[in-house]
Amino acid sequence: MSGALVSPDLFTLCKTLITGIMKIQADAILAGAPVGSPVEPLRGVAYFLMEDWFLTFNAWMIAITIMVTWAAAIQLLTMMWIERKFYSRLQDRYGIMISIWSLPFWPFSWWAKRKNKPTHRGLGYLQNVADGVKLLQKENITPANADSAMFHTAPVLIASSTVMIFAALPFSEGFVIANMPMSLLFILAAFSLAPLGILIAGWASNNKYTLIGGMRAAAQLMAYEIPLLLAVVALLMYTGSLNVIDIVHQQERLLTMAGPIPIPAWNVFSIPQFIGFAVFLVAIMAEMERIPFDIPEAEAELVEGWLTEYSGMRFGLVFGFKWLRALAGSALVVILYLGGWSGPVFATLTPSVGGTVIPIPIIPHEVWFLLKVYLLFLLFVWVSWSVPRVRIDQILNIGWKRLIPLSLLAILLAAYFVALGPALGGIR
């Protein structure tokens, strides 16, 4: 248990920041417009700036901006970079290599030339930015017989419901916008809104490929929502809380010692939850439409599935949102089963007064959390680019005939272990 960088929480930090900035401005205005001077009415502006509702509103706005920038821009680009670079390596090639030294203007070009840096041999992080710029420049084409209004509404529905997940998804105890008592349910509800947008996108494009892709997406996403929620029910028998931060806090204690290695009490280290974990992993992979389950946009059968007709930045929006869902799904698995942001403690501080042990944040919570999320996402990518795509009937068979019975078994076992917990000597 090391410390968190963002503490006590994001909103409080933003409130402190905005109060400081507004106080400096208000003081400057009050000093510049003393009582009796011709600009005295300006003092009202200063009082307005220091009003509490104004500060609260601005603090919320800044908190939301920080979270959206962090999740939807920085993490989205990182996830895309991880995937593209890693599957290129799996296919024995370099992959994307556009880096900061590839920028064709001063000072980057000058510096690359001076240092003899090869201009297109970087790590490739900026390739996705370049692709985004390219998509922004492209024309937004509406198909001739498309239902224009719904065609343009669908990307908004998809993107907004995906960004909504990050209202409740924490990156550490503090790095969260809204810490609601039922945030897990909120995340799952926001996760389940996307099929409607996908189906609308598929229908409104007026194209057979998109319609079939939308139908397949709806069938698959609805089918895999059930084992997902049932696995969560099995988990809730153990945690008894719908708050994701509480769920992580419950996993922060020590389970046992395997020799010198301490084993934390993560939910995955228990018999019913391991079944639930396996079900959840497969189901979330299908919810992300990753490759073994990417039947809604199987390139070999349907051109690009339900997003065939989109062009320009709308395509970028509906294409990039998959990585945002991948980020949210990986983060959800990490929070529910893999201990969230809890990590080993490398150093502690025992003050002479009081005697409580204070962990020193050498590696802060956020870094642990992102490390786990990236590792899990690497596993997803590895599976995606190693196994062949399953057929639509196989997908539905796996969902309805394998995963749902398994998740029901997980619920049964979880209920059994919860009821007989003390009698079994602490077997989880």
Partner 1 sequence: MAVDWQLAAFLALSVLEVGGSILVVTAKKLVHAVFWLAMTLVTIGGIYLVLQAEFVFLIQILVYAGAVPVLFLFGIMLTRRKIMEEVTPGEVPETPAEPPKEGFA
- 192 scored as a contact of partner 1 (CB under 8 A): yes
| Beta strands 358-359 and 261-264, pairing class | unpaired
Residue 332 C-beta: closest distance to partner 1, Å: 15
- 145 scored as a contact of partner 1 (CB under 8 A): yes
Q: Which structure tokens are listed for 291?
A: 């490759």
- 130 scored as a contact of partner 1 (CB under 8 A): no
- Find all residues with CB under 8 Å of 349, minimum gap 6, and list them: 357, 358, 359, 360
Backbone φ, ψ for residue 255 (5° rounding): -90, -60
Q: Which stretch binds partner 1 (CB under 8 A): 110-118, 126-134, 182-190, 386-394?
A: 182-190
- 196 scored as a contact of partner 1 (CB under 8 A): yes
Q: Which stretch binds partner 1 (CB under 8 A): 57-65, 195-203, 276-284, 298-306?
A: 195-203
Sole binder of partner 1 in the list 82, 103, 167, 193 (CB under 8 A): 193
CA distances from 372 to 140, 290, 330, 334, 343 (A): 38, 19, 9, 7, 10
- 185 scored as a contact of partner 1 (CB under 8 A): yes
- 208 scored as a contact of partner 1 (CB under 8 A): yes
Sole binder of partner 1 in the list 90, 123, 182, 396 (CB under 8 A): 182
Q: Count residues contacting partner 1 (CB under 8 A)?
A: 28
3-state helix vs strand vs coil in the chain, percent to 5: 65, 5, 35
Residue 303 C-beta: closest distance to partner 1, Å: 16
Amino acid at 229: L
CA distances from 428 to 256, 264, 278, 372 (A): 12, 13, 16, 23
- 59 scored as a contact of partner 1 (CB under 8 A): no
Sole binder of partner 1 in the list 189, 233, 390, 392 (CB under 8 A): 189
Cα R_g (the chain), whole angstroms = 25
E strand or H helix that includes residue 403: none
The Cα 396–Cα 391 span in angstroms is 9
> What residues between 159 and 178 interact with partner 1 by CB under 8 A?
none
- 199 scored as a contact of partner 1 (CB under 8 A): yes
- 7 scored as a contact of partner 1 (CB under 8 A): no
- Find all residues with CB under 8 Å of 171, minimum gap 6, and list them: 6, 70, 331, 341, 365, 366, 369, 370
- 233 scored as a contact of partner 1 (CB under 8 A): no
- 396 scored as a contact of partner 1 (CB under 8 A): no
The Cα 245–Cα 102 span in angstroms is 42
Instruction: Write out the residues near partner 1 by the rule CB under 8 A.
Output: 145, 147, 150, 153, 180-182, 185-186, 188-190, 192-193, 195-196, 199-200, 203, 206, 208, 211, 215, 218-219, 221-222, 225
